[in-house]
């Protein structure tokens, strides 16, 4: 399976490279081209996480940085404090637009490829994410809740605090494995591929990636959310039938 | 073999779920208890969010109560009149319970209230069972001791709106069964249990019902109360996971079958003592989670279900 994917990917990379060579003089504006091994990740009932292969070619030397972002979501961060001996949620802050997934991959240490100012401008690295709370907070609280959000997301495997690897095959072709865990949120992701040269971002390309529930799981989810009244009735009927069948088996056994 | 649960939105090993359902089903077959009060905490320990665990368990209890009530119905051990009165209270209580559940979830205190409810009830029930079984073991060694007065008159018998319950040979106020039904219905919504472990002692000790009609009548009204909870949770909170419920009840049905076959052959009181210790251990595990300093004092709003 992976071998086939790799072989197919290499074939595509080779084709792209040839195309790149042929178009070299005219393609000055687009110095980096990249694509994904697939643009749709289906979350089926047996889904345990998956890898998507990113591959591409650059025009000339340079470093590649890949930024993967899931759709923005409202995240509520709660802080516990000890009240009468037990730990209770005592404070909460909502961040209305936090990326549901965030990962970075690079061909070298990002801090050495470009300056911190450029990292900040391109939102590279979790420390550079723009997270605004719904209500104004003083600086220390904001930092605490922001760090709390990042820590929880890293623990869930949805934010990667350390960049993954982009590997070059020769000095023109590159590839990276993007990993999505079992609990990956659904929606339209963006995969941004940046080419850096001499400390500057010289070219960028953005590719969409759709992650959605498919199969029975997706049907159940849609049923539960769009026809919740009938879903409730269905759940009861299913339980009544199962219980009745069990009762009949019991009687015979 | 991992299975992705569509509403809980996590992957769990299907054999772990079948095993949990089977083990709790075995205990419920052995002791005639519902098992929801053990399965809900186990689901939470496995990583299912408390909101989904509670709502899904209500759904699973519908199934286990139906299979249980059939046997009692055939033997004519269901007092339908008493069941209907309890149910009137139960439907109201579970409605209020689901509303409270949504409100608590909104302010981020649902997990805490679920945990504390479990600590209180597992602690009390476990302790009472332990005392009861150790007394019974002692009594079996001293056969002369321990006669209990069959019927006592208390202030409870002075309440108005009396009604005659032929099957249970009772003439009591309907207010008391309605109140009991209401409280158990409320707990059913908050804790994801049938509430048999509260209902049964309340029927015996507070209402004075004969033991023979107690279990069947309790199961009869639990079906409707948990069905009501399932419906309201599904419609309002989107937290009922039918895939999870189906796996659990499959394991539960098989487990219960083995449990009921073993019931006659094993030393009952010693086993009851063992169940009491299991119940106390689960309660202690929840207390441990509440009092120890969490690895991270920050957490994200619970996943799964309504946005």
Provide the token pair at B55: 């709502």
pLDDT at A136 over 80: yes
Place of tokens 């991270």: B296
* B40 located within any domain: yes
* B150 located within any domain: no
Instruction: For B105-129, write each residue's pLDDT tens digit.
Output: 888 888 899 999 999 988 988 898 8
Q: How far is B275 from chain A (nearest CA, A)?
A: 23
- Chain B hits for A226, CB-CB cut-off 8 Å, are none
Q: How far is B166 from chain A (nearest CA, A)?
A: 27
Q: How far is A40 from chain B (nearest CA, A)?
A: 18
Mean pLDDT of B224-238: 93
- Chain A hits for B232, CB-CB cut-off 8 Å, are 232
Longest dimension (CA), chain B: 62
The backbone torsions φ and ψ at residue A45, rounded to the nearest 5 degrees and listed phi first, read -65, -30
Instruction: For B186-201, write each residue's pLDDT tens digit.
Output: 999 999 888 888 888 8
What gap in Å lies between CA B210 and CA B79, rounded to an integer? 11
What gap in Å lies between CA B89 and CA B86, rounded to an integer? 5
A8 band by pLDDT with thresholds 50, 70 and 90: low
- Judged by phi (left if over 0) then psi (alpha if -120 to 50, else beta), residue B250 lies in alpha
* B299 located within any domain: no
pLDDT at B154 over 70: no
Contact between chains at B71 and A250 (C-beta distance less than 8 A): yes
Helix (H) or strand (E) segment spanning residue B56 = helix B50-74
pLDDT of residue A218: 86
What gap in Å lies between CA A90 and CA B102, rounded to an integer? 18
Burial class (CB in 10 A: 0-12, 13-18, 19+), B223: buried
pLDDT at B307 over 50: no
Mutation target vs A (from B4, B252, B295; most A CBs, 10 A cutoff): B4
pLDDT at B286 over 70: yes
Whether B221 and B80 have beta carbons less than 8 Å apart is answered as: no
Contact between chains at A78 and B227 (C-beta distance less than 8 A): no
Q: Which of A148, A217, A238 sits opposite B298 (nearest CB)?
A: A148
Q: Of all residues in chain A, what percent carry a pLDDT higher than 70? A: 87
Pairing outcome for strands A200-213 and A40-43: parallel
* B192 located within any domain: yes
Mean pLDDT of A218-241: 92
Q: How far is B128 from chain A (nearest CA, A)?
A: 25
Q: Of all residues in chain B, what percent carry a pLDDT higher than 90? A: 32
- Chain A hits for B116, CB-CB cut-off 8 Å, are 86
Alpha helix (H) residue ranges in B142-210: 175-191, 196-201
Provide the token pair at B5: 């649960």
- Chain B hits for A155, CB-CB cut-off 8 Å, are 296
pLDDT at A241 over 70: yes
Cα angle: A148, vertex A154, A158; to 5 degrees: 120
pLDDT at B41 over 60: yes
Q: Which of B3, B68, B223 sits opposite A45 (nearest CB)?
A: B3
**What single DSSP character describes residue A228?**
H
Contact between chains at A224 and B238 (C-beta distance less than 8 A): yes
pLDDT at A22 over 60: no
What gap in Å lies between CA B56 and CA B49, rounded to an integer? 11
The answer for residues whose C-beta is within 8 angstroms of residue B123's C-beta and 6 or more apart is B280, B283
A147 band by pLDDT with thresholds 50, 70 and 90: very high
Whether A33 and A155 have beta carbons less than 8 Å apart is answered as: no
Stretch among A7-16, A63-72, B37-46, B258-267 having the lowest mean pLDDT: A7-16
Contact between chains at A239 and B60 (C-beta distance less than 8 A): yes
Could you give the ipTM of this predicted complex? 0.83
pLDDT at B155 over 70: no
Q: Which of B65, B231, B300 sits opposite A152 (nearest CB)?
A: B300
* B297 located within any domain: no
Whether B71 and A251 have beta carbons less than 8 Å apart is answered as: yes
Q: For CA atoms B126, B130, B131, B135, give the dihedral sign.
A: positive
pLDDT at B212 over 90: no
Mean pLDDT of A207-226: 90
A246: closest chain B residue by CA: B67
What gap in Å lies between CA B70 and CA A23, rounded to an integer? 77
Beta bridge partners of A64: A195
What gap in Å lies between CA B192 and CA B37, rounded to an integer? 7
Q: How far is B229 from chain A (nearest CA, A)?
A: 9
Contact between chains at A149 and B238 (C-beta distance less than 8 A): no
pLDDT of residue A14: 55
Beta bridge partners of A202: none
Q: Which residue has the higher pLDDT, B151 or A236?
A: A236
Query: Which range of residues forms the domain containing residue B275?
Result: 10-143+155-290
Residue spans of the domains in chain A: they are 2-213, 214-253
pLDDT of residue B89: 94
Instruction: For A82-135, write each residue's pLDDT tens digit.
Output: 988 889 988 889 998 899 999 999 999 988 999 999 999 999 999 899 898 988
Q: CB atoms < 10 A from the CB of A128, how many? A: 14
What gap in Å lies between CA A203 and CA A183, rounded to an integer? 32
Instruction: For B45-97, write each residue's pLDDT tens digit.
Output: 898 988 899 999 999 999 888 887 887 888 888 889 899 999 999 999 999 99
CATH top-level class for A2-213?
A: mainly beta
Q: Which residue has the higher pLDDT, B150 or A72?
A: A72
Mutation target vs B (from A243, A249, A250; most B CBs, 10 A cutoff): A243
The answer for residues whose C-beta is within 8 angstroms of residue B188's C-beta and 6 or more apart is B58, B90, B93, B94, B97, B194, B195, B222, B225, B226, B229
Contact between chains at B11 and A81 (C-beta distance less than 8 A): no
pLDDT at A165 over 60: yes
pLDDT at B304 over 50: no
Q: How far is B53 from chain A (nearest CA, A)?
A: 15
A60 band by pLDDT with thresholds 50, 70 and 90: confident
**Tally of domains in chain B:** 1
């Amino acid at each position: 399976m992976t071998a086939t994917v790799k072989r197919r990917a290499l074939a595509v990379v080779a084709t792209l490279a040839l195309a790149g060579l042929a178009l070299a003089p005219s393609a000055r504006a687009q110095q980096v081209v990249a694509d994904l091994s697939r643009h749709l990740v289906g979350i089926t009932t047996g889904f345990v996480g998956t890898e998507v292969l990113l591959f591409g070619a650059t025009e000339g030397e340079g470093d590649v940085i890949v930024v993967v972002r899931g759709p923005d979501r409202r995240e509520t961060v709660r802080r516990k404090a000890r009240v009468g001996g037990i730990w209770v949620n005592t404070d909460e802050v909502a961040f209305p637009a936090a990326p549901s997934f965030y990962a970075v991959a690079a061909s070298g240490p990002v801090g050495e490829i470009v300056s911190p100012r450029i990292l900040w401008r391109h939102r590279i690295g979790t420390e550079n994410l723009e997270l605004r709370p719904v209500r104004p907070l003083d600086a220390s609280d904001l930092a605490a809740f922001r760090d709390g959000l990042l820590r929880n997301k890293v623990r869930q495997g949805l934010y990667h605090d350390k960049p993954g690897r982009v590997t070059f095959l020769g000095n023109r072709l590159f590839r990276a494995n993007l990993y999505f865990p079992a609990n990956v949120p659904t929606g339209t992701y963006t995969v941004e591929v940046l080419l850096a040269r001499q400390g500057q971002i010289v070219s960028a390309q953005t590719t969409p990636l759709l992650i959605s529930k498919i199969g029975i799981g997706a049907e159940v989810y849609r049923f539960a959310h769009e026809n919740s009244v009938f879903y409730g009735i269905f759940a009861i009927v299913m339980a009544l039938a199962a219980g009745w069948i069990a009762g009949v088996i019991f009687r015979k056994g | 073999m991992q299975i992705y649960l569509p509403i809980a939105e996590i992957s769990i090993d299907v054999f772990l779920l079948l095993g949990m359902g089977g083990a709790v089903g075995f205990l419920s077959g052995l002791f005639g208890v519902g098992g929801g009060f053990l399965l809900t905490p186990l689901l939470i320990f496995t990583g299912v969010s408390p909101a989904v665990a509670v709502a899904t368990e209500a759904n699973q209890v519908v199934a286990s109560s139906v299979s249980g009530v059939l046997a009692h119905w055939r033997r004519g051990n269901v007092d339908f009149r008493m069941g209907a009165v309890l149910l009137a209270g139960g439907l109201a209580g579970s409605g209020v319970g689901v509303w409270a559940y949504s409100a608590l979830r909104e302010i981020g205190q649902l997990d805490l209230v679920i945990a504390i409810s479990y600590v209180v009830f597992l602690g009390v029930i476990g302790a009472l069972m332990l005392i009861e079984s150790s007394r019974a073991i002692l009594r079996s060694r001293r056969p002369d001791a321990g006669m209990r007065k069959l019927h006592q008159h208390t202030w409870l018998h002075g309440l108005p709106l009396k009604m005659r319950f032929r099957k249970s040979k009772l003439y009591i106020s309907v207010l008391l069964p309605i109140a009991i039904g209401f409280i158990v219905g409320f707990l059913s919504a908050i804790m994801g249990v049938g509430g048999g472990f509260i209902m049964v002692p309340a029927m015996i000790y507070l209402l004075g019902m004969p033991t023979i009609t107690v279990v069947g009548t309790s199961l009869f009204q639990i079906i409707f109360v948990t069905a009501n909870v399932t419906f309201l949770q599904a419609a309002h909170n989107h937290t009922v996971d039918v895939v999870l419920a189906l796996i659990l009840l499959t394991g539960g049905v098989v487990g219960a079958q083995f449990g009921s076959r073993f019931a006659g052959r094993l030393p009952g009181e010693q086993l009851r003592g063992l169940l009491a210790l299991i119940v106390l251990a689960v309660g202690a595990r929840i207390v441990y989670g509440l009092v120890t300093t969490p690895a991270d004092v920050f957490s994200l709003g619970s996943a799964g279900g309504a946005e």
